[in-house]
Amino acid sequence: MTIKKKYLLSTAAFVLACIASVVYYKSFDSGPIVSFVEERDTKEILDIFYNDWYWLFPGPDYSPEFILKNKAPGKEWYQARYMGKLHIKVLRESGKVAGFTTFYKKNFYEGHIQFVAVAKDFRKKGYGQMLTEHAIKSLIDLGSKKITLLTRLNNTRARSIYERIGFKETRRDDGFIFYFITPKVFKEKNN
């Protein structure tokens, strides 16, 4: 076999390996938490929203479709400045959405975690904590010096995760509990 033929065969093998890698990645995802892809993830995330409406939304006026399509925390006038700035990350398992988180920078020093949700079939695997920690790390990387979130007062499962990570309660209001964490506390608690 000539050198030219060997070169062509090895190049073809390399190209086929690259194509196989891309097909594998698109089919199964290479990491547990990936960026939201509208065409791939919307339906499954909406299913989670509608199955867990009470836990995810403080009232009936929210539109998860608007949130996903516009990458915004909501459509109220005071949320307009965050249009396109919402980070949506998806935890995938076996080609399905197992859970997701959304977060954004409220200002130059404060980040806010809006949603952490795990699909019913994927609970009790530590995914809620994994998604929360991913959001915190991402917000720290974006320069946040304080990270906030809120949940319902009776959401004991979420509260135990947040408190285990190191979030501290700031206040309670109308059935909700407000939390915050700093990068220093997060690193001390999770290293």
In the chain, the percentage of residues whose pLDDT exceeds 70 is 85
Q: In this structure, is residue 87 part of a structural domain? A: yes
DSSP designation for 58: S
Lowest-confidence segment of 15-24, 27-36, 42-51, 71-80 by average pLDDT: 15-24
Average pLDDT, the chain: 88
| DSSP state letters, 102-136 | EEEESSSSEEEEEEEEE-GGG-SSSHHHHHHHHHH
Spatial CB neighbours of 25, under 8 Å, sequence gap ≥ 6: none
Q: What is the largest CA-CA distance in the chain?
A: 78
Name the β-bridge partners of 172.
177
| Residue 15 maps to a domain | no
Amino acid residing at 172: R
User: What number is the average pLDDT over the span 117-121?
Assistant: 96
pLDDT at residue 23 in the model: 41
Q: Strands across the sheet with 33-35, in order?
A: 33-35, 87-93, 96-105, 110-118, 146-152, 176-181, 168-173
Model confidence pLDDT, tens digit, residues 21-47: 444 444 344 458 999 999 999 999 999
Instruction: Round to whole Å and give the CA distance between 101 and 134.
Output: 9
49 in any annotated domain: yes
Query: Chain-centre distance of CA 57, in angstroms?
Result: 16
Decide if pLDDT at 117 tops 70: yes
Long-range contacts of 156-160 (CB under 8 A, 24+ apart): 157/128, 158/55, 158/116, 158/128
CATH number of the domain bearing residue 71: 3.40.630.30
**Does residue 66 have a pLDDT over 70?**
yes
Say whether pLDDT at 96 is over 50. Answer: yes
* Range(s) of the domain holding residue 109: 30-189
CB-CB neighbours of 92 under 10 Å: 21
Note the pLDDT of residue 1: 65
Tens digit of pLDDT for each residue in 158-184? 999 999 999 999 999 999 999 999 999
Picking from 142, 152, 89, 90, the residue whose alpha carbon sits closest to that of residue 111 is 142
pLDDT-derived band of residue 136, with 50, 70 and 90 as boundaries? very high
Q: Domain count of the chain?
A: 1
Residue 96 maps to a domain: yes
